[in-house]
Amino acid sequence: MKRKEQMEQLSAMTVDELKDQADALKESLFRLKFRKTLGVGETINDIRREKKTLARVFTLLKKEDAEAK
């Protein structure tokens, strides 16, 4: 998914959906790191992608929090 499309999709989510998405990304990142440790598959690009997506979600959550104040 392209970055712009992903940001549009994430921006359309509610705060609760973003929190759920962040939890799912954390879980996915943990699993990818575990697979990398085991040497299963090429996961370094997947890890980078998940980290960047998680950062985008956190950025949107902080933005929503700032707007609420």
Q: What pLDDT digit, counting tens, does each position of 8-27 carry?
A: 898 899 999 999 999 999 99
Q: What pLDDT digit, counting tens, does each position of 45-62 carry?
A: 999 999 999 999 999 999
What is the span of the domain harbouring residue 51? 42-69
| Residue 4 counted as domain residue | no
Count of structural domains within the chain: 1
Nearest CA to 10 out of 53, 45, 46 is that of 53
| Residue 15 counted as domain residue | no
Query: Quick one: tokens of 23?
Result: 């939890």
Q: What is the pTM of this model?
A: 0.85
Between 43 and 4, the more confident residue is 4
Distance CA 21, CA 54 (A): 8
| Residue 67 counted as domain residue | yes
Distance CA 68, CA 8 (A): 20
| Residue 13 counted as domain residue | no
55 CB burial (10 A radius; 0-12, 13-18, 19+): exposed
Distance CA 69, CA 28 (A): 31
